[in-house]
Structure 1
Amino acid sequence: MERKIIGLFALVALMVACNGKNKIEADILIVNGNVFDGVETMPQQVSIAVKDDKIVWIGDKNDKEVIATKTIDAKGLNVSPGFIDPHTHATNDLDDSEQSHNKPFLFQGVTTVTVGNDGSSPYPLAEYRDKCQEIGVGTNVVALVGHGTIRKQIMGESDREASKEELVKMQQLMQQELDAGAFGMSTGLFYAPGSYATTDEVVALAEVVAKNNGVYDTHMRDESTYSIGLIPAVQETIKIGERANIPVHISHIKCLGVDVWKQSDSIIKIVEEAQSKGIHVTANQYPYDASATSLKAAVVPRWAESGGKDSLFIRFQDAELREQILEQTQTNIARRGGPEKLLIIQAPDTLLQGKNLLEIAQDLKKKPEEAVFDILKQGYIKIASFNMNPYDIENFMVQPWVVTGSDGGSGHPRKYGTFPYKYREFVKEKNVLDLAFFINQSSSKTAKILKLSKRGILQEGNYADIIIFDPNAFMDKANYLDAFQFSEGLIYSIINGKLSIEEGEFTEKLNGRILKK
C-alpha cells in the first residue's frame, strides 16, 4: 500500500512536470523590466504579478503561467517600489477635491506622502482623515502630529514655558491624535510657537509617542546660527531620542548659511557616535541648494513675533523695539547670504514674485531690513533662500542613514521635481549615487524609518506600490522661476494594485489610502 501511495505522488509530480507551469491569475503582469526591489544593489530580470492590492508573485516568467488582465512590457524601463516622501506640505491639497489627486508628487514617482511635518498638522486628525477618505486621494498618506499644533491648542502662541497642567493636557491631545492614526510626532523648533518650548517639554510629549511605537521627526531648533547653533541643535535632537527612547529623524538636514558651511563632517561624526550607542538617528534631505520658508520665519527675530503677526507690528511701532527688530532682521538677512539671495516665490502681489529682496528694497528706496516689513504687511510671503554649499549637500546625500525627502510646498521646484531632479543631477550627471542606492533611499529605507508595514520593497505579499520609469527620460521640469511643471519620464504608477499613471498619463483614479498606524 505504501509503495502505491509513493508511486501515486511520483506520477502526479511527473504529470505537473509534463504539463509545464503552475498557473497564477493576476490583474497586472509586468515583464521584461529592469527590476530594483528597493533593497538589493543590482537589478533583476524578473516578472511581477499583481492581484487586488498585493504583489502575488515575483520570478522568472518561464517558471509560471500567469493569466493577467493586463500585461505591461517594461523592456528598457526601470521597475521599482514607489517612492515614499517623508516630508511634504501637501496637507491642504489632500482635503481639497480639486487638488487631492496629488499629481505634483505622483508624477515624480511618489506613491506615499507624509503630512504634518515641521510641528504643524491638521487638527483634529480624525476629521481630516474622514474628509480625505470621502473625496479620495491620489497617493497614500502618512500623518504626523505637530507639536506646534498641539501647543497652540493649549497655550496659543505665547512665548513661555508650559505649566505642569498644560503639559498634561498636551500629552492627552497627543494621545488623542495618535489614536486617530498618526504615525508619530513632528516638531518645528525653529518656528513659533515650537521655538518657545523647552527640551523637557518636547521629551515629555515624545515619551507619549514612544509608548505608541511612533517616530519623532524634527525641523531642528537651528540649522544655522540663529539661536543655539546647528551642531547644538543636532545634539539636542539626539538627546531627545535618548531620553524619550524613541527613533529620531532629522528633516531636511542641511548646513544653512555661510556661518555653518562644511559642518556636515562634524554632524556625520556626531550621528554615527550616537548610532554606535544604540540611539536610532536618521535624516531626510532635499537635493537643492536653496531652502524655502516664509520671509517672516527666515529673517524676523522670533521674540518679536510672539503672539502673532499683529503683536509683531505693534512692537514694530515702538521706536526702541523697532531699532532692535531692524538690527536683528539685518543680521538674519546676512546670515541667509544677503538680500540678493532671498527670492520671493509666493506673495499676494504677484509682481513681487521672481524678485529678490535687494531688488524690492531698491524699488522701495529703503534698506532691505526695512523693506521686509513693508512686504510682510501684504500677507504670507514665501522665499527661496540660496544658502547651501554643494560640499555639504553631497556629503549628507551619500550617508546610509539619509533618505530622500522633498519638503515640497508651493513655489519651490522641489514640490514638483525632487526625486527626478536627484536622479538626473546626482545619479546620471554627477555619478554621486548609483541607481540602486538612490532607489533604496527613496523607498525601503524610508518605509523602515516611518515603520510602514509591507511597503517600500517589491516582494510577494507586500502592497503593490510600483513605478516604472524611463531611465533616459525621467527628469524634472520645474525651476525657481516656473516651479509648477510636472516631471517627465514616469511611464506607469501602480498604487495599491491599481494604475494611477498609464503610459505617462494620469488615469483620473484616486488609488491612494490614508494609512493608519
Structure 2
Amino acid sequence: MKIINGSIPDFDSMKFEIADIGIKDGKIIEIAKQGELKGVYEKEINASGMIVSPGFVDIHMHEEVIGETVDGDDYDIANKMLLMGATTCVGGNCGNNRQSVKEFFGFIDKNGAPVNYLQFTGHNFLRAKVGIDDRYRAATADEIEKMGKILREDILKQGAIGLSFGLEYSPGITLDEILSLTEYVKDLDILLSAHFRKDAKYAIESIKELIEISRKTGKPMQISHLGSCSAYGMMKESLDLIKSARDEGLDITADCYPYDAFSTYIGSAVFDEGCFELWNKTYQDILLTEEPYKGVYCNEELFNRVRKEHPQMLVVAFVMNEEEVVEAIKSPFVYVASDGLYRKGQGHPRGAGTFPRVLGKYVRDDKELSLIEAIKKMTIDPAKRLGLDKKGSIKENMDADIVIFDPEEIIDKADFMNPTLPPKGIKYVIIDGKIAVKENEIFEKRTGKAIKIMK
C-alpha cells in the first residue's frame, strides 16, 4: 500500500511535510517526495489535502469485558476507539481491570482486537482478588503480600505495563499500603498510573500524594484525567505543582480529556455524602445514562434510588470548568486521553469523540493550540511514555498505524444523549498496514494485538 500527497507531521521540526509513504508487511518502509517512491504497491490512497497522522495512542481508557464466555465480537469500547482514530489503547486504569490481564490478553492473542491493547494491573482489582470487599478499610500485611505476588506475575509473565491506582474508589487505601505493594516490583521497570484520592479543593493535596509516591518508589507516575481532579479553580496551582516536581527531576506527566463532565458508576465512593457541596453543584447536574432513566437528570430522590438500586449505572456529572480543562490540555506535560468507558453502549461521549473534538474544536475552531501540538499529544508523547519505540510517528521502519483525516472537517459527533456516534472527517484508520476503517465503516475488526511489555 502507498499513501500519496498527504501532509505528514514531523515532530523534530514541528512542521508538516507533503510526502508519499510506502507500506509493506505492517511497516512504513519508505517515505519520499511526491512521486518519488521506489517500491511497487498494489493499493493507493490519495491523501491530498489530508493530514496523515500516526495512529492515536490513548494512554487512558477502560477496556471492555471479553472472553470465551462473553460476546467479544462487539468490542463495545474498542470499536468506538477505532472509529475515532485510536490505534493503540491502554486499559486497566484507575485501579480497575474488568477481568484479569491473563484472560484479557489471552482472548486477544487468540482472536485479535480492533485496536492494539496494553494493560495495567489495577490495585483495586487486586484488592478484590484477595477478598477485600470493604473499600473503606486498608489491606492487611498478608493481603498486601498476596496482591504483590499477583502483581509481579502479571508484569513478569503476562506483560502488564505497570500498576494503576484508584484511590478515590477505595478510600481505605493508605500510603503505606501503596508503598508496601510497590516493593514487590521495585526491581522492575514499570509505569505507575493513578486516579487521585479526592478532587476540587483537595486536588493539590491529592497531587502531592501522587508525587510523593513517585519520589519514594523511584517510579514514573502518570496522573490520570487531570481535568476531573483540578478543573474546579485549582488547575493553575496543580500544573505549577507538577512542573515543580518535574524540575526536581521526578518523572511525572498527566493526561486529560476535552470535556467539562466526568463519568463513573453511581454506586462508587465518588458520590459519597458531601460530594455536591465539594463541587458546589446539585443533584440536577447528574445525568443518568441507562434505561429506565436514560437521558434523565437527577433530583435528590432519584439520585438516591438509582444509587441503591442500580449502583453499576454509569452517570455523567457536569461539575468541571471547561476553561481549566483547556488549560490542562495545553500544558506541555499533559497528553490527550479519552478515559473512555461504556456499559451496554451507554456512557460518556469521550469514548467516541475525544481526539476529533480536540482537533476540531480546540485546534481549528477555538485556536487554543496548534494542529501539530495536538497531534503530538495524541501520538509520539504517549507512545514514548509507554516505551513503544515503533509507534507514534511517521518514519521509516515504524509500525504502519496511521490515521488520515481532513483538518477542515474533523469534529466529534457523539454527545451526552448519543455517546457513541462516530466522528466526522476521519477518512481512513490503518492498523498494521491494513485498512481497518474507511469513512466510518469498519473493514477489519481484528487487526489489533495484545502488546505485552515483558520485563
Correspondence for 1:351 among 292, 308, 326 = 292
Q: CA deviation at 1:96?
A: 3.7
Q: CA deviation at 1:471?
A: 1.5
Q: 472-481 vs 61-70, which deviates more?
A: 61-70
Q: CA deviation at 1:277?
A: 1.1
Match of 1:332 in 2: 275
Pairing 1:374–2:305 present: yes
Alignment partners' CA distance in 2, 1:93 and 1:408: 16
Matches within 5 A, 1:70-469: 70-92=43-65, 96-100=71-75, 102-158=78-134, 159-179=136-156, 180-192=158-170, 195-225=171-201, 229-254=202-227, 261-297=232-268, 300-301=271-272, 329=273, 331-336=274-279, 337-346=281-290, 350-358=291-299, 368=300, 370-379=301-310, 380-410=312-342, 411-469=347-405
- Deviations 1:95-142 (Å, cap 9, x if unpaired)? 743323822111111101111111011443222211122222011001
Assess if the C-alpha contact under 8 Å between 2:200 and 2:233 holds in 1: no
Identity %: 29
Alignment partners' CA distance in 2, 1:231 and 1:489: 38
Match of 2:38 in 1: 65
Q: 93-102 vs 79-88, which deviates more?
A: 93-102
Q: CA deviation at 1:237?
A: 0.2
Alignment partners' CA distance in 2, 1:398 and 1:507: 34
Match of 1:9 in 2: none
Q: CA deviation at 1:93?
A: 5.8
- In structure 1, list runs of 5 or more residues that go unmatched: 1-27, 302-328, 359-367
Alignment partners' CA distance in 1, 2:40 and 2:302: 67
Higher helix share: 1
TM-score (norm 1): 0.82
- Distance change in 2, residues 1:300/1:505 (3 Å): closer
Q: CA deviation at 1:210?
A: 4.8
- Distance change in 2, residues 1:486/1:446 (3 Å): same
Q: 118-127 vs 174-183, which deviates more?
A: 118-127
Tell me the secondary structure at the aligned position of residue 475 of structure 1: coil
Tell me the secondary structure at the aligned position of residue 486 of structure 1: coil
Q: CA deviation at 1:421?
A: 1.0
**What RMSD, in angstroms, separates the aligned Cα atoms of the two structures?**
1.9
- Deviations 1:195-229 (Å, cap 9, x if unpaired)? 2111122123334445321100111111224xxx1
Q: CA deviation at 1:504?
A: 4.5
Q: CA deviation at 1:246?
A: 0.5
Letter in 1 for 2:143: E
TM-score (norm 2): 0.92
Q: CA deviation at 1:286?
A: 0.4
Alignment partners' CA distance in 2, 1:486 and 1:298: 31
Q: 169-178 vs 500-509, which deviates more?
A: 500-509
Letter in 2 for 1:275: R
Alignment partners' CA distance in 1, 2:441 and 2:302: 44
Alignment partners' CA distance in 2, 1:256 and 1:214: 24
Letter in 1 for 2:150: L
Alignment partners' CA distance in 2, 1:55 and 1:210: 37
Q: CA deviation at 1:255?
A: 5.3
Letter in 1 for 2:275: N
Q: 504-513 vs 110-119, which deviates more?
A: 504-513
Q: CA deviation at 1:472?
A: 2.1
Assess if the C-alpha contact under 8 Å between 1:55 and 1:459 holds in 2: yes
Q: How many residues align?
A: 442
Match of 1:19 in 2: none
Q: 84-93 vs 243-252, which deviates more?
A: 84-93
Letter in 1 for 2:295: G
Tell me the secondary structure at the aligned position of residue 139 of structure 2: coil
Q: CA deviation at 1:476?
A: 1.0
Matches within 5 A, 1:490-501: 490-501=426-437
Q: 87-96 vs 65-74, which deviates more?
A: 87-96
Q: CA deviation at 1:275?
A: 0.6
Q: CA deviation at 1:64?
A: 4.0
Tell me the secondary structure at the aligned position of residue 378 of structure 2: coil
Letter in 2 for 1:353: K
Correspondence for 2:29 among 31, 50, 56 = 56
Letter in 1 for 2:79: K
Alignment partners' CA distance in 2, 1:122 and 1:351: 24
Q: CA deviation at 1:441?
A: 0.2
Q: CA deviation at 1:515?
A: 0.4
Assess if the C-alpha contact under 8 Å between 2:195 and 2:223 holds in 1: yes
Letter in 1 for 2:358: K
Tell me the secondary structure at the aligned position of residue 293 of structure 1: strand
- Distance change in 2, residues 1:430/1:48 (3 Å): same
Alignment partners' CA distance in 2, 1:467 and 1:89: 21
Alignment partners' CA distance in 1, 2:297 and 2:378: 33
Alignment partners' CA distance in 2, 1:152 and 1:298: 15
Assess if the C-alpha contact under 8 Å between 1:299 and 1:333 holds in 2: no
Letter in 2 for 1:80: S
Match of 1:45 in 2: 18
- In structure 2, list runs of 5 or more residues that go unmatched: none
Q: CA deviation at 1:53?
A: 1.3
